[in-house]
Chain A
Amino acid sequence: MSQSAVHPTPASPTPEGGHLLDVRDLHVEFRTGEGVAKVINGVSYHLDPGETLAVLGESGSGKSVTAQAIMGILDTPPAVIRSGEVRYQGRDLLKLPEEQRRQVRGKEIAMIFQDALSALNPVFPVGWQVGETLRQREGMSKADARARVVELMDLVRIPGAARRLGDYPHQFSGGMRQRVMIAMALAMNPRVLIADEPTTALDVTVQAQIMDLLADLRRDLDMAMILITHDLGVVAGVADRIAVMYAGRIVEHADVHSLYRAPAHPYTKGLLESIPRLDVRGQELSTIRGLPPNLMRIPSGCPFHPRCPYAQQVCVDVVPHDLVLDDGRTSACHFAQEVRDDSAR
């Protein structure tokens, strides 16, 4: 519960290179035949050892692209990293040569994806796939790798792991496939695990199992985790801190308790009010009017202003900077204090 208190609040000053992972002012665009889409427009966030950061956003908000930039798996072209830094233990990953980058990928920072069926190779047995990195990169013998794979598959609670090494991905259920992918990501003991919508394709009871597993693994293996999701319910269950993304920017950044208690950005407030809730019987849902912006034509000033009930002329003219509230949270809104006071009511 009080984990969030242990970690510095987002805006508090930290010594240079003090974070495990530190993304600074990242700008990414996609150059396509139709024009330039500004997908990431100055994203900064950090991650400390052992904590869980949730990155929340709707489709096109740039949450996955940021993660791909951290992993170095963005397709370039069409993507171009315009500027910014991704510092891992003080080193800027974006400046490393590919050979050294490879040493970080998987070994220091690993990633799991939404769709386990397409992330796994259908023509190789799962045991072989989980062991591939161990043989290729750790130089393990076949027998050693096999023993370690069984260990890993036990760790992610696949029943009868030793018997299932020779099975193919299609012989596993959706939840079990996700476990296989988690085992693969854990093979080299990463310190950071990035989970990109890990349960979106799963049923609710299986989702609960996988989220439990991830929380336990994070604690037992002392990893830090970035959880990318669109689901406000999933975030509330596991995260310490939360960064809300909209149109390629982080619009609000806070510890999870204060954000749900009183959001300080109109977008976050709108999201929280527009979801039907299991525990609250509702009348008409409030909605966020309009649509997310086309990233080739992001509105002037605050990108949320065409949809925002708080918008004034200043929002059309001036891009809001991160406003640090008295409790250390940040909100990129000209009226952050007002929005938070409204939400707290």
Chain B
Amino acid sequence: MTAPASPTKVRGETILAVDDLVKHFPIRRGVLLQRQVGAVKAVDGVSFELRRGETLGVVGESGCGKSTLARLLMRLETPTAGRATLEGRDLFSASGAELRRLRRNMQMVMQDPYTSLNPRMTVGDIIGEPFEIHPDAAPKGSRQTRVRELLDVVGLNPEHINRYPHQFSGGQRQRIGIARALALRPEIIVCDEPVSALDVSIQAQVINLLEKLQDEFGLSYIFIAHDLSVVRHISDRVAVMYLGKIVEIGTEDEIYERATHPYTQALLSAVPVPDPEARDRRTMIRLTGDVPSPADPPSGCNFRTRCWKAQEVCAVEEPHAVPRAADPHPSACHFAALRPTP
């Protein structure tokens, strides 16, 4: 199996560019004449670039919009505004044959390996289904061979092609999901919490598999997860989301060692570290209160209601994710600063 051949594929060039992407879900009232009374701002102006062969981690707490972002990129939702280009082609205006072609290049691995596989289909049919929609990807006669090949690539026994999903464990099912995503030889795979439903000892196996496949096929990943340790391990660059916006984005090192946004700092300090000796050494930033509703986000900086640095300007002026004096990576905070080392 080889990556789609094209002479112009350079590792590190931008493959996907997302510009000011917005998704508002309308809130409607009334029975017959529904009128819109508001909107849940699930994704509210997100911009980033994905480079060929890299993993971009997207972290954030529940409700921050990271899964909606994934669904938008897969065109499972229609954006309210914004642009995205995949290898220079507009992702959202494409339709018909053009859309099918784009979709083939971008596949998804879902969180729940139990509900994302049809229990009535054999593993062979599940992995081979993309070929029904894209018959040119594998001629009919060679499909069986291709599916066996895919099973082998993800570390499953090709002999099990006629088994059903319930005959596999959670980790194995996630491998089936990965094989299905690989079937059309995409260049980008969007992974939405791919290991969070798995046990610790199985997580590592799936993470290693994803890394191996990336090296082998030059894949680019958008890796969405709430587990900051997993994201650090797998990502080259990381975007931190809060209430539908990217508050900070940078290399793995910039985010984990030199974060300048208070939310990133608080998030990192709250992650439990498997080392009892660190109990007294680490100081945790304790955020008070809950995440505000995305239907009614605070004015200005939407983190200000929980931020210990908040001043008057934060309520008035929205900070943009731009390079800051404290560290040259984009951070959406008026008072961006490195966390003093204790």
The chain A residues found within 8 Å of chain B, CB to CB, are 1, 58-59, 173-176, 203-209, 211-212, 230-237, 239, 256-257, 260, 270-272, 274-279, 281-282, 284-288, 291-292
Contact = CB atoms under 8 A, between A and B. Distances in A.
A62 B81 CA distance: 50
A122 to B, nearest CB: 20
A70 B267 CA distance: 36
A208 B284 contact: yes
Contact of A58 (B172, B201, B207): B201
A287 B271 CA distance: 22
A203 B226 contact: yes
A243 B226 CA distance: 27
Contacts of B131: none
Contacts of B290: 173, 175-176, 206
Contacts of A292: 199, 201
Given A232-B200, A275-B229, A281-B232, A260 B62 contact: no
B149 interface: no
B276 A257 contact: yes
A233 B199 contact: no
A202 to B, nearest CB: 9
Given A276-B229, A286-B204, 6 more contacts: A237-B273, A237-B276, A239-B276, A274-B203, A282-B233, A285-B204
Interface in B283-308: 284, 286-287, 290
Interface string B32-52: 000000000000000000000
Q: Which 4 A-B pairs have the closest CB atoms?
A: A233-B272, A276-B233, A274-B204, A203-B61
Contacts of B204: 274-276, 285-288
12 contacts: A204-B270, A204-B271, A206-B61, A206-B290, A209-B286, A211-B272, A236-B276, A236-B278, A239-B276, A276-B233, A277-B229, A291-B172
B251 to A, nearest CB: 12
Nearest to B272: A233
Contacts of B338: none
B201 A233 contact: no
B156 interface: no
Interface in B208-239: 208, 211, 226, 228-230, 232-234
Nearest to B212: A284
Contacts of A277: 229, 233, 273-274
Given A203-B61, A276-B233, A284-B211, A233 B274 contact: yes
A284 B208 contact: yes
Contacts of B171: 291
Interface in B261-276: 266-268, 270-276
A278 B273 contact: yes
B169 interface: yes
Find the residue from B203, B232, B274 having the highest chain A CB count within 10 A. B274
Given A208-B284, A236-B278, A274 B200 contact: yes
A174 B271 CA distance: 18
B164 interface: no
A270 B232 CA distance: 20
A281 to B, nearest CB: 7
A58 B229 contact: no
Contacts of A257: 276-277
Contacts of B268: 278
A2 to B, nearest CB: 11
A39 B186 CA distance: 43
Contact of B274 (A175, A204, A206, A272): A272
Residue with the greatest number of chain B CB neighbours at <10 A, chosen from A1, A176, A209, A212 = A209
A274 B275 contact: no
A181 B208 CA distance: 38
B274 A232 contact: yes
Nearest to A294: B169
A272 B256 CA distance: 21
Contacts of A207: 270, 272
Given A59-B199, A276-B230, A236 B273 contact: yes
Nearest to A274: B204
Of A233, A270, A286, most B-chain CB atoms within 10 Å: A233
Contacts of A284: 208, 211
Interface string B124-141: 000000000000000000
Contacts of A291: 169, 171-172, 202
Contacts of A281: 232
A205 B270 contact: yes
B157 to A, nearest CB: 13
Contacts of A174: 62
A272 B274 CA distance: 8
Contacts of A270: 201
A230 B278 contact: no
B266 to A, nearest CB: 6
A233 B271 contact: yes
A271 B284 CA distance: 25
Given A203-B62, A279-B278, A231 B272 contact: yes
A205 B229 contact: no
B118 interface: no
A17 to B, nearest CB: 30
A172 to B, nearest CB: 9
Nearest to B232: A278
A59 B170 CA distance: 11
B277 to A, nearest CB: 7
A208 B233 contact: no
B166 interface: no
A205 B61 contact: yes
